Structure 1
Amino acid sequence: MHEIVLQKRLEQLRRKQRQEAIKVQEELETALASHSVQIKAEGQGTIDNDAIEEEDYSLIEEYDKSMSPRPFDKLPREDKQCEIVDLGEDMKSLREKRKEVLRNQFIPMKVQQKKPTVEEEEESLVSKVLYEREAAKDLDEDEAIFNIEEELAKTTYLWQDKYRPRKPRYFNRVHTGYEWNKYNQTHYDSDNPPPKVVQGYKFNIFYPDLIDKSKAPTYKIEREPGNNDTVLIRFMAGPPYEDIAFRIVNREWEYSHKKGFKSSFDRGVLQLHFHFKRHYYRR
C-alpha cells in the first residue's frame, strides 16, 4: 500500500509539472507575440512605417538621446580583436532560439539553491560529532584508515520526493598482518617477515537522522562475474540516506564474537567489525 501511495504521489507531481510547463509556454507565446513589432524592426534594420501604424504604439518607447551610448573617439585595442556581428544575422539567430523555446513540450524550471533546514543542520552536527569521536580513537599497530568509497550506479528512491537523499558519514579501518602459510614459512622469518595482507575490517557508518529508527541499517555482499579477488559490501539504511559501498577482499569471515566479530546499530551508528578466517600451519 505504501508503494501504491508513493506511485500515485509521483503521478500527481508529474501531472502538476506538465501543467506548469504548458502555462510557461503559453506565457512565452503571449510575450513573444506582443513584441513582434520590435523584433521585426530590429531584425530588418529599418522600420516599415505602414506596418507600425497597424501595431500598438504603446509597445514602442519614444526615443531619447540619453539612450544612445557616447561614441568612442578611439576604439580600444581589445575591442578591435572582437568578432564583428551583423545586426540582422544576430536578430535572426535570436528569433530562431525563441521559436525553439516555443516548440519545446517541456520547459524545465530553474532550481533554486535551498538553504539547509534546521533538521538538516542538526543532522550534520550530530554526524560530525559521531565522526570526530570515532576518528579520535587511536589506531592499533596493525590498523589503517579505510575510507575509499566505491562508486555506485545512480539509484532512484521511492521516498526521494519527500526527503532529500544524502550519503551518511563513515569512518572505517582495515586490519593487516602477516600470514604464515607454507610459502611464507619457507621464504621468510620473524626477522625478515613477508608483506602484510588484509585480515579484517571495521566499518562505522553514521545514521543519526534515520526516519524509521525501528529498522536497523543492513548490508549485503555483491559479487562481480570474473572477479574472485574482491567483492563489494553495500550498506543500506532507507530514507533519507543513500546506499554506499566499499570494495573489500574476498575471503571467508570469522563470525565468532571472541574473534572480534561485531554487528550492531546503536545511537545512530552502524558498526560492522570482522576478521577473516586464518589458517595455521605446523612448523
Structure 2
Amino acid sequence: MPNSRRARASPLVGVVGATLIAVLLAACSTQVSDDQAGQSGAPSMPGVEFATELDHLHGLHVNADGTVLAGTHRGLFAIGDSGDTVQVGDSDDDLMGLAGATGSDTLFSSGHPGPSSSAANPLGLRTSNDGGRTWTDGSLAGKVDFHSLATDGNTLVGFDGVSGVKSSKDEGRSWESGAALEVASLALTDTGTWAVTSSGLQYSSNDGRTFTDATGAPSLVLIAGASDALWGVDQDGFAWRSREGKDWEKRANVGAVEALTAASYDSAYAATSQSLYALH
C-alpha cells in the first residue's frame, strides 16, 4: 500500500464528510417512489472512490468519532472524507472478521497473522479498545478464524467457516456452540441474531442456538444490524432496510459490494475495495 499513510485519520464531518454528503444529496433527490419492498427500481448510488485500493476488504465499522474503518488483508484502515485511506496502528494482520458496536472504539477481529506478526494462526478473537490502534489476544487463538462476526456491544456471534455459529455473552472470553449453519453474513439487533444462509435469511431468538426462516426478506448476500435496524444487500446489488425484519424497503443500487455496516435505521455504509457508499 505505497500511497497510504500510517497515521490516525482525522474525524469525518457528519460521519463521512462533505464530499460524501454531496453525493448522497444528489442520489437521494431521485429516491421518491422506490422505498416500498417489491418494487423493481431503485436509484443507482454513486460511491466515493478510494485514493488507494484496499486489499481484500472483509468488514466495516463506524467508530466513536464517526470514522468508517475497513478491515482488510493487510490490517485496519480509516477512510477519509475524500476517499483517502490511512492505516490504523501497526498491525498488518489479515482481518477476515471485523465487528464493533456502532459508535464505539471497542472492536473485535479475527483472521490470520500478517508478515510482521508472531501470533498464532489462526488468530482466534482479538480485541481493541482504542479504535484498532492496538490489539490484545482474546480467545480461541490457534483454533478459530471467524469469517463473519457481529456484536451489539455485549453479545458476540461468529461463524468460522467450519463448525457453525458460536456465541459469547462475555465479550469473547467464553463461547457456546450454536446451530450448524453455513453462514455468509451475521447481524445482531435488539430482538436477536440474523444469518444469511444458502436457503435465505434466518432468525434466532436464542443467541444462535436455533434458527427459523425470516419470511418476506429479499434474497440477501450481506446483512448488518444496529439497535432495531437491519440493512442488507441482495444478490442483484440492491440495498434494503427493515426494522427487525419487517416491511423491507429497497433503498438504492450499489452493485456487488464486499462489506456492509449499519449505523442506524437511517444510515449504513457499503464498500468494495475501491469505493465507499453511504446509504440513507
If the length of structure 1 is used for normalisation, what is the TM-score? 0.18
* Structure with more of its chain in helix, by fraction: 1
* Pair member with larger Rg: 1
Q: As a proportion of its length, which structure holds more strand?
A: 2
